Homo-oligomer: A and B are copies of this chain.
Amino acid sequence: MDDLNPQVFGYVMDRLLQEGALDVFGIPVQMKKSRPGMLLTILVKPEDAARLTEIIFSETTTLGVRRRDESRQVLARKWITVTTKWGDVRLKIASMNGTVTNYAPEYDDCKRIAAEHQVPLKDVMQEAVQHYLRGIVK
């Protein structure tokens, strides 16, 4: 889109996520006539495609929406909770073939704790990871 107010772009991004999009992101693109356009991409489950496409048409200035089908391989995921000195933080543990490949502290938990305890967000996130790893490596 080369004629959409960026404020609307941020709004639409949030709305699509609330309405069930699996993921939403924007890519700054170079368009004709030196226009800095935005390419809006959303990942949706097939059953939601029609409904979310309608939202894109009503909320944005676009006249066309492209669709393609892709397959997606996702890791097994589970949630665990660790108790840090500042409070509980959930971590999302992802594994592939039984091996843990990633452990990510839940952003909202960390953000809440960072504000409450006046500590840097990155420290809260690292603290949560520490507790998780200690739980594994005794």
A residues apposed to B, CB below 8 Å: 1-14, 17, 24-39, 43, 53-54, 57-75, 77, 92, 94, 96, 99, 101-102, 104, 107, 111, 114, 120-122, 125-126, 129-130, 133
Whether A7 pairs with B35 at a CB distance below 8 angstroms is yes
Kindly report how many copies of this chain are found in the complex they form together: 6
Contact of A5 among B3, B26, B53, B66 (CB under 8 A): B3
Please classify the interface of chain A as helix (H, G, I), strand (E, B), loop, or mixed, using the class held by over half of its residues: mixed
Whether A36 pairs with B32 at a CB distance below 8 angstroms is no
In whole angstroms, what is the CA distance A102 to B27 when docked?
Answer: 22
Q: In the complex, what residue of chain B is closest to A65 when comparing beta carbons? A: B73
How near does chain B come to A83, taking the closest CB pair, in angstroms?
Answer: 15
In whole angstroms, what is the CA distance A34 to B67 when docked?
Answer: 24
